[in-house]
């Protein structure tokens, strides 16, 4: 099949899932055309069957605000025409699903191209419900030939929040379990924890929804009981405030902010515990990446997290903001090596048995085929 993928190219779960899906589909022999404003971050080496089409943004003084959605629609129409696209797959509803709809309208009877929209989370739970977007998001959900959501929770939240009746296919996020697997004691671990301290880790875009400050408070409590270090990976609006907080709590020499990183399997391999105290999470891809590397996760019970983390088996789940409980769970796992070994093995096993790339990508292929 000839498949166009429209996504955000920068850091963030939806762009990562879209890019990894494109790479896996290309590997299975499909021609994949990424259409976006910059080369997707994870598209970092040559692979056969993969193409990238950049959306140009005209700069004219009259256009005080960028008209990205419209430029994107024109580009999708162009690529669809010249590459004979069978499918255009929009990841994240705003504005991609709307641009895909527009592109199909532009082509009219010239194309039989079908549109697929994958909902990732904040496009529904946060931004999509904003009155300035709601009618547009509902419209694009109704008009897509197929809609998928990355968890059961998100499918239900979409039906309830937007009052839509149509079928929403649940296709979970996935992980390359060969790439994401625990490596033996890494040089990074020796540098971060020279006295063999435990390493707690968190990866996110440091937006308010991730509650990174809770991560730091949890760590402060854990450090009272267990010699440990906290490694924070990623960047975003809350980072400066979190740096300030760790100084204020007097733990800054034990907290390392690494910024954006690409060598995630190596970094995760050094972790003893992953923390995800989010306020909202449709799935929690970073938790799955950790689990695949055998790292148990302590998280909140929000959104789709309980579909990924099995409480008492692969990690622990607590109420939003219950820092004491999350710290208690963390200490329990870090001080009981038998339990840690069991949870670590369970986490890896769940990643393999439920979320391995080879199990999930064919679900997208079948969906495309059913539309054609
Ligand atoms: O976590 C974010 O805010 C980024 C966002 C994105 O779209 O880039 O992530 C969402 O999509 C991921 C991939 O499907 C999910 O794993 C995340 O749970 C989801 N984030 C939220 O729902 C807050």
Distance CA 186, CA 199 (A): 12
Count of Cβ atoms closer than 10 Å to residue 372 Cβ: 11
Distance CA 21, CA 360 (A): 9
Distance CA 21, CA 36 (A): 15
Residue ranges of the domains in the chain?
2-174+357-371, 186-355
Q: Return the pLDDT at 6.
A: 98
Would 2-174+357-371 and 186-355 be classified into the same CATH topology? yes
Q: Return the pLDDT at 250.
A: 97
Q: Report CA-CA distances (Å) from 166 to 127, 143, 147, 148, 261.
A: 21, 10, 9, 11, 39
> What residues flank ligand 1, with Cβ below 6 Å?
12-15, 17, 92, 120-122, 150, 173, 205, 207, 209, 280-285
Q: Return the pLDDT at 59.
A: 85
* Highest CATH level, class, for 2-174+357-371: alpha beta
> Is residue 318 classed as helix, strand or coil in its secondary structure?
strand
pLDDT means over runs of 10, the chain (372 residues): 96 91 97 96 88 92 88 98 98 95 96 97 82 91 97 96 93 98 87 96 96 98 98 96 98 96 94 97 97 98 98 98 98 98 98 98 98 97
| Ligand 1 pocket test, candidate residues 5, 11, 13, 41, most atoms within 8 A of CB | 13
| Four-residue CA torsion sign, 167, 76, 9, 67 | negative
For every residue of 80-115, DSSP letters joined together read HHHHT-SEEEEESSTTHHHHHHHHHHHHGGG---EE
CATH of span 186-355? 3.40.50.2000
């Amino acid at each position: 099949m000839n498949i166009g993928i429209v996504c955000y190219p920068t850091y963030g779960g939806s762009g990562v899932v879209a890019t990894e899906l494109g790479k896996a589909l290309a590997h299975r022999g499909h021609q994949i055309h990424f259409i976006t404003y910059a080369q997707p971050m994870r598209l970092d080496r040559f692979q056969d069957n993969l193409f990238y089409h950049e959306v140009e943004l005209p700069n004219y003084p009259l256009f005080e605000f960028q008209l990205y959605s419209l430029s994107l629609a024109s580009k999708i129409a162009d690529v669809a025409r010249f590459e004979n696209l069978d499918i255009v797959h929009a990841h994240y509803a705003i504005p991609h699903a709307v641009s895909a709809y527009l592109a199909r309208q532009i082509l009219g009877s010239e194309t039989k191209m079908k549109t697929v929209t994958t909902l990732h989370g904040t496009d529904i739970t946060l931004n999509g419900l904003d009155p300035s977007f709601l009618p547009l998001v509902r419209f694009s959900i109704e008009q897509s030939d197929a809609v998928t959501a990355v968890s059961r929770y998100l499918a239900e939240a979409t039906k309830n929040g937007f009052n839509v009746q149509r079928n929403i296919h649940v296709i979970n996020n996935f992980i390359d379990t060969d790439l994401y697997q625990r490596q033996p004691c890494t040089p990074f671990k020796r540098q971060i924890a020279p006295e063999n301290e435990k390493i707690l880790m968190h990866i996110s875009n440091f937006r308010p929804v991730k509650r990174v400050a809770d991560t730091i408070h949890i760590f402060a409590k854990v450090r009272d009981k267990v010699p440990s270090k906290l490694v924070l990976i990623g960047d975003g609006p809350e980072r400066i405030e979190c740096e300030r907080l760790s100084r204020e709590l007097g733990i800054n020499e034990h907290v390392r902010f690494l910024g954006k990183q690409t060598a995630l399997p190596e970094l995760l391999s050094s972790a003893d515990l992953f923390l995800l105290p989010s306020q909202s999470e449709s799935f929690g891809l970073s938790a799955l990446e950790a689990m695949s590397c055998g790292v148990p996760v302590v998280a909140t019970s929000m959104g789709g997290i309980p579909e990924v983390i099995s409480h008492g088996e692969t990690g622990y789940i607590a109420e939003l903001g219950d820092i004491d409980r999350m710290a208690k769970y963390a200490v329990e796992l870090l001080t009981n090596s038998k339990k840690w070994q069991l949870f670590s093995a369970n986490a890896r096993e769940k990643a393999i048995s439920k979320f391995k790339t080879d199990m999930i990508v064919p679900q997208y292929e079948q969906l495309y085929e059913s539309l054609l």
